[in-house]
Amino acid sequence: MNKENLVGILLELSSTAGVSGDEAAAVKAARSQFSLYTDEVKLDRFGNLIAMKKGEAPPSEKLTLALIAHIDEIGLMVTKIEPGGFLRFTSLGGIDARALPGQAVVVHGKKTVEGVVGATAPHLLSPRDRAKTVPFEKLFIDTGYDDQTLNNYVRVGDTISFIQKPLLLETGKRITGKALDNRAGVAALIFCAAELTGLRHQADLCFIASLQEEVGLRGAITAAYGLKPDLAVAVDVTHGDIPGVDEKKAFKLGDGPALGMGPNFHPPLSLAMQQTAKEYNLPFQVEPIPAHSGTDAWAFQVSREGIPTALLSIPLRYMHTTVELLDIDDLISGGRLLARLAARMNKSYLGELRGC
Amino acid sequence: MTLKDTLKKLTEAYGPSGEEKEVSSLIIGMVKDNADDIFEDNLGNLFVVKKGKGPKVMISAHMDEIGIIVTHIDENGFLRIAPVGGISPRLLVGQRLRFNSGLIGTVYHEKLKELKELDWSKIYLDIGAENLESATKSVKIGDLACLDQPFKEQREGRYMAKSMDDRAGCAVLVEVINRLNGELPQEACFVFSVQEELGLRGAKTAAYRYEPDFGLAVDVTLVGDTPKAPTMAVSLGKGPAIKVKDSSVLCHPAVRRFMIDIADENCIPYQLEVLTRGGTDAGAIHLTREGVPSGAISIPCRYVHTASEVVDKIDLDYAVTLLEKLLLSTWPGTEGLYSR
């Protein structure tokens, strides 16, 4: 897979709707890609997308490496249809109310209805209120319909996703759009699966596009239990460098994926990822994470008897907005690194990592 | 026994999280003649099984209620207390609390400059003891107590009591167990769960043990129909709510659709619930093992987690009908269901 293919896949995944709990469209888009590069693609009981790629190991040497990226994106949900046709809503995942007014949205009702998040115009606000963020409960969605008509199309509990056409910026390397958290991770897994068609591997590989991460790692909890992998690597996004943010808390775009270090991760597996990156001249950065990584890795690590787990994160700016921005080269080096790690994984290497 | 009588008995019982025995004994007495199997697990969850062919449905309502635990007894015999579950110290002042032994105390606060200073460190429980020695004859540190309020019918069909959360759900399950007879299209396991108020703890082990194909919780939910209430499109008396979301679960779309279809087919009024805070047993059930497609029936309730929780008979009656019809219907096959 070349860079242009990967960009195309990420643009498609970014523009597809898939808020937590309503990921079907995004899953469908990812499914068609995974099925090109893996042996079997299925949905588990929770709805997680599972793509299996068989390894060459004989039955006595079998092991499974899970690579997991969540496919859900943050969004909104209708809580009330008010007189005049204004929709009140709540958040699905960590929504920043400051970024909402002026945003175009689509309500996924009986039919899809487009609208905008409105708020009182500045002219009509007191100087004091003008200086403040509009609180969440004061925001509403205007679809242009009156409440009677809207009631035919929309119900309480319908999901709402953001409308944002993703852009490949002029550099040809940087992409901006919604839901790059974590369609970037999903795209990196697809790229990794494509790389592996040209590599031999012993381990059975299990690519997981997980649901409902943004509301509490829920898909990962059931996927980890169901698949019982021998080891796992979660792929997600981390904060990219911007002015005003401490450089210790942010990662340079284009300098490679960030590899997590800390109690959420299996130290030898994390170091093996770093070692693999060095051997293949793939750039990487190290991200110290003192406790909860806020990723699917947190759920995987404590599933059943415990799973050695690591984390690879794509640096991304403006997280949880509709203008998330990343560098495609970080996806490529991340995907290659995962492929090289997968290709070297076998039972004796796993034994070495476990120290036995 | 009418639903009202069941509700009165259950709400007046003692059952803070961790000490649900009195409630489960009452329920066993109410359902034992209509159960194919009854058993309890290590945590105190009560399982009531109605046999059927095909997949297994677990229906959960929690027995526990919010309460307090004694943390300290001073030399004058006054008790200091801490919350068991989400209970506010402001709502306890002037309330009576009852221990398992039947002992009654009342809550008051130390001298305060302003009411907002009121927190758990400023309130105490007076059990009428003269001193430490006489107090320790009737209570120990670590004893639990619950609110003490009688069940009242405010006006016809409008019920007020402590622990409607979730004895209202328990009463609905009891009623449905006693109505259903004959073989069901799928096995139904009614779980009266423990420790929901502390984090859905009973439902977690119950679902692990029973391994259901589907989960359903029956619990109370908040309403948006009181003066200046937070935005919520659920009112008292407009029928049970079919849950879409709360903090613990995004109900499985196929289960939710199935519930809506059954309600529509049977002309059962219902509301759709999006609860922005709080959770229910479905949150634990749906994440069990490899995942269990789950939904919830919610009974609209005013003043949840106070001594005077209010529900409406209309909502209870239709919750019973909806649950009964759901269990008499054939649930969607697993094929296509997991594809959401």
Nearest C-alpha of chain B: how many angstroms from A233? 19
- Catalytic one of B20, B65, B187, B196: B196
Residue B167 pLDDT exceeds 90: yes
Task: Please tell me whether residues A214 and A331 are part of one structural domain.
Answer: yes
Nearest to A156 among B230, B233, B339 (CB): B233
Q: Which of A285, A74, A90, A76 is closest to A183 using CA atoms?
A: A74
Q: Is the dihedral of CA B26, B32, B36, B39 positive or negative?
A: positive
Q: Are A10 and A331 in contact (CB under 8 A)?
A: yes
**Does A312 share its domain with A336?**
yes
Contact A44 B233 (CB under 8 A): no
Does residue B333 surpass a pLDDT of 80?
A: no
Of A43, A46, A157, the CB nearest to B272: A157
pLDDT tens-digit series, residues A6-44: 999 999 999 999 999 999 999 999 999 999 999 999 999
CB contact under 8 A, B340 and A24: yes
CA A38 to CA A206: how far, in whole Å?
9
Q: Are residues A317 and A195 in the same domain?
A: yes
Domains of chain B: total = 2
Among B147, B173, B195, the domain-final residue is B147
Write down the pLDDT at residue B337: 54
- C-alpha A210/C-alpha B74 separation (Å) is 54
Q: Confirm whether A63 is domain-assigned.
A: yes
Question: Where a domain ends, among B147, B171, B195?
Answer: B147
| One domain for residues A14 and A122 | no
Residue of A27, A45, A218, A300 to mutate, interface with B, max B Cβ within 10 Å = A45
- For chain A, the domain total comes to 2
Residues contacting B139, CB < 8 A, separation 6+:
B70, B73, B79, B99, B103, B127
Listed in sequence order, the DSSP H helices in A217-301 are 218-227, 267-279, 296-301
Tell me if B290 and A45 make a contact (CB, 8 A cut-off). yes
Any idea how long chain B is?
Answer: 340
Shared domain for A31 and A133, answered yes or no, is no
CB contact under 8 A, B244 and A221: no
Chain B residues close to A212, C-beta within 8 Å: 250
Q: Say if residue B150 is exposed, middle or buried (CB neighbours under 10 Å; 0-12, 13-18, 19+).
A: exposed
Asked if the structure places residue B218 within a domain, the reply is: yes
Closest approach of chain A CAs to the CA of B44, in angstroms? 24
Domain limits for position A34: 3-73+178-354
Query: Chain A partners of B260 at a C-beta cutoff of 8 Å?
Result: none
**How close A45 gets to chain B, by Cα (Å)?**
5
Nearest to A218 among B276, B287, B289 (CB): B287
Running DSSP on this structure, what letter comes out for residue A133?
A: P
Give the confidence band of A76 by pLDDT, cuts at 50, 70, 90.
very high
pLDDT tens-digit readout, B262-314: 999 999 999 999 999 999 999 999 999 999 999 999 999 999 999 999 999 99
pLDDT at residue B215, rounded to an integer: 98
Taking the mean position of all CA atoms in its chain, how far away is CA A175?
15
Which range marks the domain in which residue B273 is found?
3-65+162-328
Res A129: pLDDT: 86
Same domain, residue pair B210 and B302: yes
Q: Which two tokens stand for residue A331?
A: 């996806």
The answer as to whether A171 is a domain residue is no
**Helix, strand or coil for residue A311?**
strand
In a domain, A151, yes or no: yes
Q: B98 and B38 in one domain?
A: no
Q: Is A96 exposed, middle or buried (0-12, 13-18, 19+ CB in 10 A)?
A: middle
What are φ and ψ of residue B128, in 5° steps?
Answer: 80, 10
Assess whether pLDDT exceeds 50 at residue B123: yes
- A246 with A205, same domain: the answer is yes
Q: Are residues B114 and B248 in the same domain?
A: no
* Structure ipTM over 0.85, yes or no: yes
Best of A156, A159, A221, A222 to disrupt the B interface (most B CBs within 10 Å) is A156
Structure tokens given for B59? 């229906």
Q: Do B38 and B178 lie in a common domain? A: yes
User: For an interface test with A, which of B287, B289, B335 has the most A Cβ atoms less than 10 Å from its Cβ?
Assistant: B287
User: Closest Cα partner for B129 from B103, B96, B94, B149?
Assistant: B103
Confidence of residue B334 (pLDDT cuts 50, 70, 90): low
* Domain match, A203 and A306 both: yes
In a domain, A22, yes or no: yes
Mean pLDDT of chain A: 96
Q: Residue B302 maps to which CATH number?
A: 3.40.630.10
Closest CA to B198 of B25, B26, B41, B16: B16
Per-residue model confidence (pLDDT) at position A90: 96
CB-CB neighbors (< 8 A) of A23 in chain B: 340
In this prediction, residue B340 carries a pLDDT of 46
Give domain status of residue B333, yes or no: no
Chain B: give the shortest CA distance to residue A28, in Å: 10
- A211, A346: one domain: yes
Co-location of B81 and B101 in the same domain: yes
Q: What average pLDDT does the structure give for chain B? A: 96
* Domain match, B59 and B180 both: yes
Active-site residue set of A:
213
Domain match, B264 and B115 both: no
What lies within 8 Å, CB to CB, of A314 at 6+ separation is A184, A185, A188, A235, A236, A237, A238, A257, A258, A326, A330, A331, A334
Question: A78: which chain B residues are within 8 Å (Cβ-Cβ)?
Answer: 274
**A48-55 mean pLDDT:** 98
Which domain CATH number covers A109? 2.40.30.40
Instruction: Give domain status of residue A314, yes or no.
Output: yes
pLDDT over 90 for what percent of chain B? 95
CATH code for the domain of B87: 2.40.30.40
B-proximal residues of A, 135-154, CB under 8 Å? 137
In a domain, B335, yes or no: no
At B221, the amino acid letter reads T
- DSSP helix/strand/coil, A37: helix
Select from B104, B121, B147 the last residue of a domain.
B147
Instruction: Determine the Cα–Cα distance for residues B149 and B137; give it in Å rounded to an integer.
Output: 25
Among A47, A157, A221, select the one facing B287 at the smallest CB separation: A221
pLDDT at residue B338 greater than cutoff 60: no
> Quick check: bond before B166 cis, omega within 30?
yes
| pLDDT exceeds cutoff 60 at B335 | no
- Do A204 and A268 lie in one domain? The reply is yes
Q: Exposure string (b/e) for A277-286, b if CB count within 10 Å is 16 or more?
A: beeeebebee
CA distance A327 to A169: 10
The amino acid that residue B311 corresponds to is: V
> B340 and A23 in contact by Cβ < 8 A?
yes
Structural domain contains residue A172: no
Q: Are residues B193 and B314 in the same domain?
A: yes
Q: Mean pLDDT throughout B178-202?
A: 95
Among all residues of chain A, which has the CA nearest to that of B334?
A45
Is A157 within 8 Å of B244 when comparing Cβ atoms?
yes
Instruction: Measure A221 CA to nearest chain B CA, in Å.
Output: 7
Q: Is the pLDDT of residue B205 over 90?
A: yes
Residues of B in contact with A19 (CB under 8 A): none
CB–CB contact B274 A77 (8 Å)? yes
DSSP track, B193-230: ES-GGGTSHHHHHHHHHH--SEEEEEEEE--S-STTPP
Q: Report which DSSP code applies to A254.
A: T
Q: CATH code at A244?
A: 3.40.630.10
Q: What percent of chain B has pLDDT over 70?
A: 98
Whether A203 and A229 share a structural domain: yes
Give contacts of A 260-319 with B, CB under 8 A: none
A88 with A193, same domain? no
**A226 contacts on B by Cβ (under 8 Å):** 289-291
Query: What is the least distance, in Å, from the CA of B298 to any CA of chain A?
Result: 14
Question: Which of the residues B204, B273, B290 would you substitute to probe the A interface, choosing the one with the greatest number of A C-beta atoms within 10 Å?
Answer: B290
Q: Is residue B132 part of a domain?
A: yes
SS3 assignment, position B19: coil
Mean pLDDT of A163-168: 97
Say if CB A304 and CB A224 are below 8 A apart.
yes
Question: B217, B285 in Cβ contact below 8 A?
Answer: yes
- Judge whether residue B252 has pLDDT over 70: yes
Among the partner-chain residues A43, A137, A156, the one whose CB lies closest to the CB of B274 is A156
